[in-house]
Amino acid sequence: MGNIKKALVITGLDRKIERFFTDITKRKSEDLVIINSYGAEILQGYSSLMRNIILAVYLEKIEEIYIVVDKYDKGFSINPEHLYAQMEEEGINVEVIQTLNYIKAVGGNDVMKWLSGSSNIESIIQNNIEFIIKHPLIPNSVKVHGYIVNNDIYDYQTSVSEK
């Protein structure tokens, strides 16, 4: 039993689409490891999300990775102005954002763009697949798939890649 290979699902925060995971992966739910993230976007090859993926591959004996996102996940439609207004409401002032932009500490010198992420789901999935399959710590044997779903059916498979 200890040699059962599992699948890793990287997804957003919408729990309603989890019912599709067993159909998409062709595995039982107990053979799935799920990582939830706003927008499910990998922004750097050595980010905490990528670290979690690498650790899951080795510690959970992952043989396939599925990036499964909801077409309508709010993590893909973050309005930077609205987000900034919420930050201001909580006491973050414009000088903090300007300072972070000035020192280029995050997001290529645009903090709000970094926080908001991309709204192009297909591009996010393809970039995630490339980050994973090109990462030097991911074994060549791990296959990576990308799906976009909605709450009724999974629409289509956007990409399937192998190293």
- Determine the pLDDT at residue 159: 53
CA quadruple 137, 39, 124, 111: dihedral, nearest 10:
-90
pLDDT band at 16 (very low <50, low <70, confident <90, very high): confident
Q: How far apart are CA 135 and CA 46, in angstroms?
A: 9
- Determine the pLDDT at residue 70: 82
H or E, element range at 158 = strand 154-161
6-76+119-161 CATH: 3.40.1050.10
- Tokens standing for 42? 């990998």
Q: Give pLDDT tens digits for 144-153.
A: 999 988 776 6
Domain ranges of the chain: 6-76+119-161, 79-116
User: Residue 123 contacts by C-beta under 8 Å, 6 or more apart in sequence?
Assistant: none
Q: Name the least confident of 12-16, 26-30, 52-56, 87-91.
A: 12-16
Q: Give pLDDT tens digits for 88-116.
A: 888 888 788 777 777 765 555 677 777 77
pTM, two decimal places: 0.77
Highest mean pLDDT pick, 77-81, 99-103, 122-126: 122-126
- Determine the pLDDT at residue 44: 78
On the question of pLDDT at 56 being above 60, the answer is: yes
Q: Name the least confident of 13-17, 20-24, 73-77.
A: 73-77
Name residue 134's amino acid: K
